[in-house]
Every structure is written in structure tokens, then in C-alpha cells.
A = this chain, B = another copy of it.
Amino acid sequence: MPYKPPVRDYAFILRDLLELERYANLPAFADASMDTVDQILEEAGRFTAEVLAPLNSVGDKEGCHWAADHSVTTPKGFKEAYRQLVDGGWPGLGSDPAYGGQGLPHVVNLAFSEMSSAANMAFSMYPGLTHGAYSAIHAAGTPEQKDLYLPKLASFQWGGTMNLTEPQCGTDLGMLRTKAVPQADGTYKISGQKIWISSGEHDLTENIVHLVLARIEGAPAGTRGISLFIVPKFIPDQDGNPGARNAVKCLGLEEKMGIHGNATCVIAHEEATGWLIGEENRGLSIMFIMMNEARLGVGMQGIAQAEAAYQAAADFAKDRLQGRSLTGPKNPDGPADPIIVHPDVRRMLMDAKAIIEGGRAFLFWTALHGDLAEASPDEAVRQKGHDYMALMTPVLKGFLTDRGFNVCSDAMQVHGGSGFTEHFPVSQYLRDCRIALIYEGTNGIQALDLVGRKLAADGGRGVMGFFAELDGFIAANEADAGLKPFTEGLAKAKAELQEATMWLMQNGLANPDNAGAASTDYMHLFGLTALAYMWAMMARTAQAKIAGGSTDPIYAEKLAVGRYYIARVLPETSGRLAKLKTGAETLMALPAEAF
């Protein structure tokens, strides 16, 4: 069965949980009435299921083709699908109306992005990176740069990339060597080799805008000497159309475990012409605008692949007849029961639902804070929005992709032997999903960002605000008998997370290795607690809907999956806390040569 966009779940989150219509008075939300949003979701579901999903396996099997003239051809069908994407008006959903966008809240665009990624992750990375380049230029470009590039990027007429990594330099951008030499006309000559450039070269757009980190001659060493440049594949002519070919070319493609439909390029800059964006030596801060957007997008990819894999597993489990229920036949007229009757199969499917639906709520809830950080007239709301975006981004990226990969692996397990063959789609979901744990900063880097930077930012204002919000929710709802498992589970997890936070404050300063040693367990403890909060809020919403007379089965289902989460996923928190409190000592005990 093909991918079925979970449109009903988006509507639940946007209408019932986040109550989007509360914000109708804000300009950015004015055009986002739930009727409009429903229509957009339906149409997006159709487009992604009918146009993008059928090309997913094609992209995996065929991959991209590099030719000696440095051109790259995308898999059969990608070009036509991209044309339909552009013609359908999808690109501008979340972009600034000043540059041709529709200016809808990011939270609405996120639903479209998730559906695109679930339907075809490799394909969706082409527009995904384009939007990242759009955001960076939107935030830091000169008026001329904005006028020249943003309309083309907002419409996906041109593509965008991030040129960061070099062979000797991944996480540690201070080791970057690509050079930028200033020219008399104000441009720079960019020289150096970049690797692992997603969407780095392809045949989908008439131009590709590379955003390139490089070091201006004479700049300070390390990260304080890095600048960001716009390096277009074709230099725009006077009319803003693609003109002369720039000296930037694709030397080859990586062979990878997954996302074969996306061109992962080695890119050579050979005195390519580049334009500085933002200030000299301040490139990293602009790059992080792109990077933070990309990290949220990667967290979303974890959930998207998990959703697609879960759907395949659920279909298989309802279809495959094998064995009998432990409590007596459920399909007595058939030769066997469908395997969904078996508790251990249920366990994997329920784990998947608990993580996917809880994780999706966490993504959208955070994205709404991001929207409010920009759009709210209330300074306190804006500040909280910024605080939460900063604090939650590493958790969303690291926790949701770790868990999403596990869901994909469980989905393969539900398939039994069929899942290991390439005749079923789940191997691709598992292989594609795996990159999400690595790129845009490995999950270990996310965990370190969380404990090393985000917790302490502004005197811990973000995390303290989050704890206060959880306390407020628990206090407001602990008298509600129907929500008791949720408020109790959340209170326990929150207490453990707070204890871990205190432990980090006390022990991380004394020995930074303690913070590093605790980081991944802390990130998971944080994610598990955040999802407990999401499930508690969803349960409250669902319970109120049922009390209000709704018979839509989604509300009873949300309560059931939420109770499962509290009973069968959340208990992991205690072990995480116990582990991290043992500190760095046993972890660092061996000399390096013992490995």
C-alpha cells in the first residue's frame, strides 16, 4: 500500500491541540484559517502521495548520474515532478510575500514538508535546501542580494545548497581551508574543495545558489575567520537571469547507504566568483540560521520516515496471516490470524505511534513557538518563542531521529524476512532515515549543543521556563482523574529531568567531561519528558472533545496511545538518569590505545 499522508493528524494538532485559530489576529496567521489550512493539507496530501511517493523507489534504485562534463542527472521522473512542485505553487507556502511567497505560518508549511519527506526524502531535500538558502539570504543579505535571489529561491526556480564540509573539516569548522580572495570589483575569488554537498548539482533548476563558507585571505584562524559567500552556478546577468557559467563544478557523487535520489556532491571551487553575505568573518552566525532551520527539518525527516515505515508495517501486519492469537483465533475462517493480533507485533506498532504522534506534536508545538517568536506583538511571547526554539532544536534533531530510526528498524522487524528484501519499501526507509542521525551535526553534537550551550543560555531561562510550564500544567490538571496517568507520569519524568539538569550544573562545570559523558542520555531524558508533556496535552484535548460529545474515533485513539506512551515508553527515563549520574569516570577510564 502506498504512503497515505496523515492529514487527519495534522488537523488534530493544528486545530485541536495548538488551536491555530487563536492567533487569527496576528498578520502571519490571518490567511491561515483552519478551513484554508484543511484545504492546503488535503491538496498537499494528494500531491505528495500521487506525484512524489511513486518516485521514491525509482530514486533509490536508479540514483543520480554524474557525467564527465560535471553535470548530474536526477532519477527518471524527478524533473517532471519538480516542475509540478513549482507549478503547483507549493514553494512559496512559508515564504515572505514581499518575495512572492504566501506568508503562511511555518507550522503549516511544516505539514507539507513532512508529507514531502515521507513520500520521497531524497527528492524533498532539493527544495528543502533551497529554502535554507532562502532563509539565510533573507536574514543577512543586502537589499540587492534579496531582490536578486529571494524571488528565484522562494519560487524554487533556482536551487540552493550549503557548502560547509571539507575533507579535513566536518564538525570542527575552524579547520576550514577554502579561500576567498577579494577582487577590485567587490567580489571574491573562491577556491577549495567541498564534500557531501546535498543537492550540490542537478538538472532540476536553471541555476543553483551555493552558500559557501570560506576564509578571506588574512582572516583570523579558527571559527572567527570564516565568512559566508553566495556562489551561483550561473552568474546572474543584468536582468537577473542565469548568465556566465561560474567556476564551480561537481567532481563526482558519493555512493551512499541511502537517499540515492539526492545528489551528494564533491564540489570544486576554482576561483569561482562569490559575493560576501553579511559581515566579514561572521559567516558562521549566518550559516547557523540555515543550520538551525535544517536541524528542525532533519528532526522532521526522522518522524517522516518513521511514519512511512510505520504505515508499511501496519499494512503488512493487518494483511499477513501467520499463527493464531494467544487468546484464541481472531480470524477463525482463515488459515491463520493476521499478525497484528500478536502482542509483540502490537508493541512495535504502538511504540511507533507513540513516538511518531508524540514527536510530531513536539515538532509542531515548537514550530508554533518559532512563528510566535517572529509574529507575536507580545515581547514575552516572542522571547519565550526564541528561548524554546533554541532549546528544543537539538532535542528535536537528535532525539526524534534516533527514535525515528528505531521505528524504521521495528517496522522492518514487523515485516519479518520480507522486510530485508528490496521488494518491500521498508529497507529504503531504514537506509534513507539513517543519514538523519548524522547530517547537520551528528546527534552527539546535538546532545553537546544542548548540555553545553542551550541549557546555560540566558542564565538557564529557557529550561527554567519549560520546567515552570510543566509544573503549571501538572498543577492545573492533577485533580482530573482521567488525566491522572498523564500528570503522574509527567511529574515523575519532569522531576528526573530536573534532577539531571541540577546534576549537570553541579558536575559539568567541575569536569567538562561529565557534561559530555551525560549529554546523550540527557538529550533522551529531555525528549522523553517533552513527549510526555505532548501526550498529556493531547490527552487533555482528546478528553475534552469526548466530554463535549465528539464521537470521532481519533480522540479515543489519542487517549489510548497516550496511555501506552506513559506506561511503556516513558519508564526508560529512570535508567537514563541513573546512567548519566555515574559521571565520566568509568567512561573515560581506558587509555586510547586500549581501543
Contacts and interface: CB of A to CB of B under 8 A. Distances in A.
A564 interface: yes
A420 B256 contact: yes
Interface string A557-578: 1001101100110011111001
Interface of A is mostly: helix
Contact of A340 (B353, B430, B595): B595
Contacts of A517: 343-344, 346-347
Nearest to A514: B343
A327 interface: yes
Contacts of A349: 595
A435 B420 contact: yes
Contact of A347 (B321, B563, B587): B587
A409 B171 CA distance: 19
Interface stretch (A199-207, A360-368, A443-451): A443-451
A512 interface: yes
Interface in A243-281: 254-258
A527 interface: no
Nearest to A343: B516
A226 to B, nearest CB: 15
A314 interface: yes
Interface stretch (A26-34, A68-76, A389-397, A421-429): A421-429
A442 B413 contact: yes
Interface in A324-352: 326-327, 335-336, 338, 340-350
Contacts of A579: 567-568, 571
Contacts of A327: 511-513
B575 A587 contact: no
Interface in A171-226: 171-172, 175, 196
A412 B336 CA distance: 40
A568 B584 CA distance: 10
A175 B444 contact: no
Given A430-B257, A595-B317, A589 B560 contact: yes
A515 B343 CA distance: 9
Contacts of A175: 322, 335-336
Contacts of A413: 437-438, 442-444
B326 A516 contact: yes
A347 B520 contact: yes
Nearest to A442: B416
- Interface-centre pick from A255, A347, A589, A594 (highest chain B CB count, 10 A): A347
A586 B560 contact: yes
Interface in A291-331: 314, 317-318, 321-323, 326-327
Interface in A23-71: none
Contacts of A12: none
B586 A563 contact: yes
A503 interface: no
Contacts of A568: 579, 582, 586-587
A594 B553 contact: yes
Contacts of A172: 322-323, 336
A589 B575 contact: no
Nearest to A346: B587
Given A175-B335, A594-B557, A326 B170 contact: no
Given A175-B322, A347-B520, A430-B257, A582 B567 contact: yes
18 contacts: A170-B322, A170-B416, A171-B322, A172-B336, A254-B421, A255-B423, A256-B421, A256-B427, A257-B420, A326-B512, A343-B584, A343-B588, A344-B516, A345-B444, A348-B444, A419-B438, A560-B590, A574-B575
Given A340-B595, A344-B519, A560-B590, 20 more contacts: A168-B321, A170-B322, A170-B417, A172-B336, A256-B420, A257-B420, A318-B595, A326-B513, A342-B516, A343-B587, A345-B444, A346-B588, A405-B409, A409-B434, A413-B442, A420-B439, A557-B594, A567-B582, A567-B586, A571-B578
Interface of A: 165, 168-172, 175, 196, 254-258, 314, 317-318, 321-323, 326-327, 335-336, 338, 340-350, 353, 405, 409, 412-413, 416-417, 419-423, 427, 430-431, 434-435, 437-439, 442-444, 447-448, 511-513, 515-517, 519-520, 553, 557, 560-561, 563-564, 567-568, 571-575, 578-579, 582, 584, 586-590, 592, 594-595
